Each structure stands twice: as structure tokens, then as C-alpha cells.
Amino acid sequence: MVDRYQKLTSSGPGAFLAKRLGLPRPEVLERHRPGRPVLSGPVVVEGADGGRMTEPLRAVVASLPSAERAAGGSGDSPAALVFDATGITDSTGLRALHAFFHPRVRSLAPCGRVVVVGTPPELARDAREAAAQRALEGFVRSVGKELRRGATAHLLLVAPGAEGAVESTVRFALSARSAYVSGQVVRVAEPVGPVAVPADWERPLDGKVAVVTGAARGIGEVVAETLARDGATVVCLDVPGQAEELRAVAERIGGDALPLDVTADDAGDTLVGHLREHHGGLDVMVHNAGITRDRTLGRMDADRWDAVVAVNLTAVERLTERLLEADDSGGSVLREGGRIVCTSSMSGIAGNVGQTNYAASKAGLIGLVQALAPTVAERGITVNAVAPGFIETRMTAAIPLFVREAGRRMNSLGQGGQPVDVAEAVAWFASPGSGGINGQVLRVCGQSLLGA
């Protein structure tokens, strides 16, 4: 769907008019293209005294192909400003944030990145350090709202002992893959399984098998395309009524199609049987299928409530349980090192008028992810969720004009996201290198003004 306002203000006459009238001018965001370097300009990496992440961060940046780099100094239009705040142990040390960013932040390149790395406050050595590390969140969320020209901000909280597990996350945060993610907090813990560094970061899913539900169109279709781009063999799953469209998607990406109603009593058995017979197992499960049946609560009949909860939440619970069940050999179809990714929503975080059923189901997915995380970690499996905000799809195209424009503009980037923005976040969660990310919910919302 075309954002006509953004298109207008990106043109010469439109940009001139918007500037004269003081209107916002949403930046055309840089998004990942295969073969493109992670960074398009110099990166400044520094840290507070005593920080434990400065050298690991410099090592990751130095490994990025075809990128200009700077170990220090302000540089000209840096593509990224990276600061290790793990050495800040009390409130007075927060002055280091100002000292680093104040002289540099206004020179950040369009679509640049601010990345701050800290320690999870709950793992701090005392109350003063916990306060200082918690302060980083307020700092980064505020910076994200101040940045202009498509730049974004990220806070990575790295647990002691997880220093060697940050590369996948740092690459995601610095790259165009995170174009519509800003002001978010990502916790990196020690990997739940062996540290797995992809042989090729452009194709981290080579040799992996993935399932994407709701893959016939919309976000699910783009998720399937993105996982295939990253090397996975994708089983595209959707309702039998979408079988023709589903087969077209599967054929285009070199996967296979499985028309299946996820709410059917035998859906889990059918899926497991298909995976064992045709693929030998599963590595990545993406629960993307979802429906809406909107009405305010007083006007919502029970059928609308039941249908949404059945597809969006109950089916996810049942399929996941079945995928994790042990077979006769003692193992499950979802292999060790597997990844489960659920598609929640900003509605599940902030609520939405007319969506009590939908918001309840999407909030329930967050609860499911958080409850499953420690259990599946024992088997080297991670489970996470993405929570999209306003994404340009056929569904949002049907929203009334003024409501649609409000949804687009009420975020720090001043525009709606694209389905590929959600897909890139799913692909990051799915990567073998993301074993330190578990039980988390990533908002893909341009730092929406709604919710936390």
C-alpha cells in the first residue's frame, strides 16, 4: 500500500512545501537488500571506563563486510554510534552518555543507528548499579523519539557471560533489517544451546526447515519469502480455502504447501506427519496465522470471540505442544536448537477499541512465550514473539482514512511499517546465532506512541 503523504513529501516540491508549513517529512527508510553491507558508513564505538563489552563490540563491527569503520572520534556522518555502558556503576557515571552522544548525535547519517549496551538491572551488583543500568532504558527510549531522518535507537542488555553471544543481535540492530524497530530493549543471555555462528550471515538458515502459518498472503507470505531468502526450506501453511494462493507462494520460494485448518482437532498430527515424511523434522516454527472479528464488547457475539481466540491463541498452544511431544525415539519433531516465533500485536500490549477478542488473544501469546521459554531452553530451543504496530497491508488499507493516517504517523518514524520489517525480525529470532534471545517480545512499530 502506498503512503501518498510520504511520497509527496519525499519529492522536491512536496519537501519544500512541507518545510515551509512545518509539516513532518517521514524519511524513506533503508531496508536490507541481499549483498548489501550491514553498514554504509563509519561506526564510532566507545565505552565507559571498566566496560566489559567495548572490545566484543569492536570485534563484531570489525567483522562486518564492506563497511567503513572508526574506532573513535566523531567522524563525518557516522552510520552508527555504539556505546558500551556496562562500566557505569552509579548515577554519576551516566554523565558518560552525554559526553559521548552530545557532540555526535546531530551528525548521525540518515537511517543511522544509536546502540547502547548495558547490563540487565536485575543482575547488577548493588542498588546503585541497578539504578544506573535501568536509567539506560529511559535514555534510549527518549533518544529514539528525538532522532530524525529515519535513525533509530536500540538498547541491548547483555548478561555477564553472554559477551560471545551478541553478534547476531548487534548485526540486526546495526543493519537495515531493523529499519522499523526503535526504542526497544533486547536482553541477551547465555545461549540456551551451543553457540552457533552461521557459516554465511547472508544465509544463516541454510539446511533448516521452517513452517510459516498464514503464509498465503500478507505478512505470512513475506515471512516465508524472507526465511527462504536466508536459506530455509519453508513449509507454507494456510487454510484450504487459500490453497491456490498458498501453492503459488510455495512454488515461488522453492518450498512446499500444506493446506490445513490450524483449529482442526487433528491439525497437530497432520503437521507432524507431513514434517516427518517430507523433511525429517523441523527447525523453525512461525505461528503467524491470525484473524480479526472486530466489534465493541457490547456488540460482539460469542461466535466472533470464539473464532479469534481459537485461531490466534488456542491453535498456537495445541500445535506447539504437539511439535514438542516426544516420539518413540524420545525426541520431538522440533529439533534441538529449534526456534519458535509467535506473531503477537501492539493490540496485545496497549489494547484497541473494538478488539477485546483480538487483544486478549495476542496478549495471551505473550504469556505463552514467557511461560514456555525456560522449559524449552532445557532442550536448546528458544521461543519469542514479534508485536507489529501499524503495518501496510490489505487489512490496514481497509481502515478509514483518518484513522489510518493516525496509525501511520503516531510513531517516532512517522510512517507505517512494511511486512518485510516484521519478517526481518522473525528471521533474526530464527537465526542459529540468536540462541541468547529467549522469552522476549520485540515491538516492530517504529516506536509507537501507544503502549510501553
Catalytic residues: 358
Residue with cell 538491572: 121
**Which amino acid appears at position 192 of this protein?**
V
Report CA torsion sign: 64, 70, 71, 72.
Answer: negative
Q: Are 449 and 410 in contact (CB under 8 A)?
A: yes
In Å, what is the CA distance from 220 to each residue of 206, 281, 435?
A: 20, 21, 23
DSSP state of 157: E
Q: Are 302 and 227 in contact (CB under 8 A)?
A: no
* Interatomic CA distance for residues 69 and 429, integer angstroms: 27
Give me the phi and psi of 43, to 5 degrees please: -120, 130
* Interatomic CA distance for residues 392 and 404, integer angstroms: 10
CA-based nearest residue to 441, from 339, 367, 375 = 367
Report CA torsion sign: 129, 130, 135, 140.
Answer: positive
